[in-house]
Copies of this chain bind each other. A is one copy, B any other.
């Protein structure tokens, strides 16, 4: 049976971390909100899970993954669930926990990237918080991008199974999420990110290797990959880069 992914249909957003896992594993899934409302898909199906009182375990926000009776919110929790099923995580509890810990740290970086254009709050438009955004972006560019990428570099360098993967010797969902984080940062902050990547060659190499994985590469060239845009988490506002 197909997995059902529910996410906003016009942005990559946090849903992209789930899409990449499903795509890289060649798993059958339906991107429900991008389907037709007349056939039971589209946004009404997504709002059902977020708003309908009949949902016993309601997600706070999307992405939402539905697998039979199981309804799961929170990107990292979805990947925790999918990891073993898609063979995108090691078999030991220690490996699974470490992969999850890396995912949570990447999620923190993603939150902070979002915060650069919405430091006051997600309920207001960027245009209503541009002054605050300029200061937040400077802090993020100069302090946080190097710190997060530097940490990922250390994780790769110290992996006893080699520096081609974050955990063990095989592709994990954390590798896919590293790819997406770097792709997003390169889109939103090209100058700052290229500067930081010069000091993190292992991160850059893994980013490029993931993009060349056969299924990921096919996905990135397909219409299923939504282009980065200024409604998503990673937004290119040139005034915020330097």
Contacts and interface: CB of A to CB of B under 8 A. Distances in A.
Interface of A: 53, 55-60, 70, 72-74, 76-77, 80-81, 94, 97-98, 100-101, 104-105, 108, 111, 115, 119-121, 123-124, 129, 132, 135-136, 139-140, 143-144, 148, 151, 154-155, 158-160
List the 10 shortest-distance A-B pairs measured between CB atoms, nearest first. Answer: A121-B139, A119-B119, A74-B104, A120-B135, A132-B132, A60-B105, A77-B101, A74-B101, A120-B136, A123-B143
A101 B136 contact: no
A131 to B, nearest CB: 8
A83 to B, nearest CB: 12
Contact of A158 (B53, B105, B159): B53
In the assembly, how many copies of this chain are there?
2
A90 to B, nearest CB: 12
Main secondary structure of the interface of A (DSSP, over half): helix
Contacts of A151: 58, 60
A186 to B, nearest CB: 21
A129 B135 contact: yes
Nearest to A119: B119
A139 B108 CA distance: 21
Nearest to A136: B120
A55 to B, nearest CB: 8
Contacts of A129: 135
A108 B77 CA distance: 13
Given A101-B72, A104-B76, A155-B58, A140 B160 contact: no
B120 A139 contact: yes
A121 B94 CA distance: 32
A167 to B, nearest CB: 9
